[in-house]
Structure 1
């Protein structure tokens, strides 16, 4: 009997979601199109290249860093890497990582130091000796530097930058501190550095936990857990607004799960629940740039280290970049906490673009999108028959529905409108082709799915 029960549970776990009984919830999402509540940089999407040495692996069978994934030895001339980057047209890439704090730059002529590669040494900070590639300091936020000392270092750095670029029309930004956010520490930092020293306040996020945590996978479909990090975004936004208005907030590094990510999770469809939700959340709180760890390297890379095949997160990031413009709009969602919803001004065209993430495996949603201003007017006067915030111009709505292959959340293959996104035989990226729907019809969001929806006829005055 025990065997039969176990077998039944096992079978249910792998039943395609189309067989399971499902509910359909109809609801209304209200978008405030009269004004933007936040604005991202044009190149909001950002990826990182890390510098871990090729022999970092302590477990060969579960090697976090492939021998050619580090920026120290990656071949950036490979066609697939070039095509993956060029698909964004413009893309910000942050180069660095944990070991940058132990790097020494070989600056060519005049360099008198010893130029040796990294060597493993578990008695040292970060488990490696110093290595010769780039100029580096000997301290880091991970080493618990006080905000007061860090502020003194930044003031000195500002003096150096201003002196070196005194007669230059362009001057590099000081982007700091690249730490895990602490409200008191960051507040003290901006107070003691003062105006126009730090151009960008960066922080790192690994809120999903350790990559080897057996409970990790359940957090991706838990809306309460995903929302917890919003307090970090909110606090940093307040610091910038009240104490450092000359600066802006960036996520300098975010990989979801730390320790190089999670094996067969970070490169699978379920990771997109966290990643795309956090992109929407970060933008909502006026984060200008969000750097995903990594482009290549680790389990959390958006291009698999050994094959360079794009993961579901890569395609999600590409759609976000192409469809969601810098202007962020406020959304009122009382339908369900399992339906994550974000709205932006559409990129380089009229209307709005929306991101829907359905964390539920039992409930589909049929959503009607309304404008807040139109609803307010309707409360004061009787609405005309058929009136809507969406013009009746006949322009169809674009929909991009992402689902996991075979309904398995841990699949590393993603479907766009039911068709697998795969490289062509020539190594080209697939076309991201939408389906078209009547703009006044309901938007249907399947269980365990993600949808980008472009509504060109939505009148959003704030986007003009």
Structure 2
């Protein structure tokens, strides 16, 4: 069993090591032999994939809108959100918007039902319900067949105005006039309750695409699906979808992934074998796509550490960062176009808690959003299995900069040598758990605790060091930025990116996905670097009579116009 406290020397008391660390760390580093140093070589000559600025995105459970849980006007909420630019926000739920001040109810008495829902949520101590193992959610999504009441997201004019004002303040954009649709949620789970197979869903997508072609406003819209759960768990279902030509009716293949369920243990979060399951999952999906000549991009539309809302005192603590960093690195290496972290607010696994305090994963997300973009590189290193390393072009610094992000999943400190940059001074960000407690919700950056001051985020202070012997602490995740790397591919990428901005491309703006909505694509180009090109912000409530499509899969297409 892994000790939750960092015991850097199995027979020495932790408190003694902590007291001696400051005075002996330099001496210990000098005593480190060359054989113990991990030589890291980043292959910057070739890169086959890019991370766009909207690679990392966030999900909101729709219930926090419904019950007005999110404090839109809080300075702290604004500050936390402003720090995560270039983000697509995907709201999970089926929306009904009305311009009336009074809430519109869709053929049901919601008053008693909502109160029951609130009571149930208080009992469960959960804030969301969108997870791959939540069978109740599956039943509720098709209430006509199984006897549950439908679950729509309903916004009055007053609530909508709060949402718009918040989005305007943090520079997020909303779209009406949908440019893309993502309709169904984990349809492979439907088979247990509704006997809907993959070929049926593929046919439904075909019907829906033909229907969109009848409307000039929607005929160029993208369709994203089928949002199955892990490919290795939904292999037969996904194959039946592809076999029925489902790939022809979607523009991107969407899927969900969680490492484990909400009964996971501390040891699960630290298990390297479980981290490797994500690669297996992607391999299964890609092999099936190749078998049926499906070359569509892959999009991870829902993910976190554990399903079912997360695991209390694990998904919301420092230890969860290992699964999150590895998911980001592996997704970039395997050309996932976009990844949606569930969730920003709501649930145990949220980035910020109910008191608007950042959980450890927030700071990891902040670092990735701030510094990672562009060409993805492979890494060669004589590393042990508990060291996992990824590399990418770096933004924010001068053109040609390189960012290396890595984690240490053991109680041993390690040292790395950046073989191509050993004589250069690099910027190092080391994240460790407060008081060496991996289940702490408090984080240290280079030994200093990260604490918000009022609504102000803490300053993320780097450590400037030579690249020949960089300390990687036990149980840590780290970002190393080589500011003088002068990587040609990085220079060219950001040069092209800057040129696009001058031509008026809006790919650096943000959007919010409301149920089916995703980012508007540049219709003049299929280049993935244009992902995130958006329409202008709409600050008005949609006019009465606006067409809003709600799409359900119930053996055939069901549309509400």
TM over 0.5: yes
CA distance in 2, matches of 1:134, 1:43: 27
CA distance in 2, matches of 1:290, 1:133: 23
Does 2:200 align with 1:152?
no
Which residue is 1:357 aligned to? 407
Distance 1:36 1:79, change over 3 A: same
Distance 1:242 1:108, change over 3 A: farther
Which residue is 2:480 aligned to? 453
131, 136, 140: which one pairs with 2:151?
A: 131
Distance 1:71 1:419, change over 3 A: farther
Does 2:457 align with 1:429?
yes
Residue 176 of structure 1 deviates from its aligned partner by 1.3
CA distance in 2, matches of 1:17, 1:158: 66
Which residue is 2:44 aligned to? 33
CA distance in 2, matches of 1:201, 1:13: 52
SS of the counterpart of 2:108? coil
Distance 1:231 1:441, change over 3 A: same
Alpha-carbon deviations, 1:257-283, whole Å to 9, x = none?
A: 122111111111000011111111111
Q: Is the 8 A contact 1:391 1:457 kept in 2?
A: no
CA distance in 1, matches of 2:458, 2:249: 44
Which residue is 2:212 aligned to? 161
CA distance in 1, matches of 2:16, 2:325: 22
Q: Is the 8 A contact 1:196 1:246 kept in 2?
A: no
Which residue is 1:89 aligned to? 85
CA distance in 2, matches of 1:83, 1:321: 15
Which residue is 1:65 aligned to? none
Distance 1:158 1:407, change over 3 A: same
Alpha-carbon deviations, 1:364-422, whole Å to 9, x = none?
A: 1111123xxxxxxxxxxxxxxxxxx3396x6x311111011111000001011111111
**Aligned CA-pair RMSD:** 3.4
Residue 217 of structure 1 deviates from its aligned partner by 0.7
Q: Is the 8 A contact 1:16 1:407 kept in 2?
A: no
Which residue is 1:80 aligned to? 76
Residue 183 of structure 1 deviates from its aligned partner by 3.3
Q: Is the 8 A contact 2:52 2:374 kept in 1?
A: yes
TM-score (norm 2): 0.65
Uncovered stretches (5+) of structure 2, i.e. residues with no partner: 1-9, 22-27, 121-134, 141-147, 156-182, 493-561
TM-score (norm 1): 0.77
Does 2:267 align with 1:218?
yes
CA distance in 2, matches of 1:345, 1:240: 29
* Paired residues for 1:144-293 under 5 Å: 144=191, 145-164=196-215, 166=216, 171-180=220-229, 181=231, 182-193=234-245, 197-207=249-259, 209-213=260-264, 216-239=265-288, 243=292, 247-293=296-342
SS of the counterpart of 1:76? coil
Alpha-carbon deviations, 1:93-142, whole Å to 9, x = none?
A: 1111xxx4xx5736679997336255559999546521343698899442
Does 2:417 align with 1:390?
no
* Paired residues for 1:391-410 under 5 Å: 396-410=425-439
Q: Is the 8 A contact 1:240 1:248 kept in 2?
A: no
Does 2:372 align with 1:314?
no
CA distance in 2, matches of 1:390, 1:129: 61
Which residue is 1:143 aligned to? 190
SS of the counterpart of 2:481? strand
Q: Is the 8 A contact 1:403 1:418 kept in 2?
A: yes
Uncovered stretches (5+) of structure 1, i.e. residues with no partner: 1-10, 53-67, 371-388
More helix by percentage: 2
CA distance in 2, matches of 1:236, 1:268: 31
Q: Is the 8 A contact 2:184 2:226 kept in 1?
A: no
Q: Is the 8 A contact 1:16 1:406 kept in 2?
A: no
Distance 1:73 1:14, change over 3 A: farther
CA distance in 1, matches of 2:186, 2:46: 44
Q: Is the 8 A contact 1:174 1:199 kept in 2?
A: yes
Deviates more, 1:449-458 or 1:176-185: 176-185
SS of the counterpart of 1:189? helix
SS of the counterpart of 2:214? helix
CA distance in 2, matches of 1:339, 1:123: 39
* Paired residues for 1:48-59 under 5 Å: 48-52=59-63
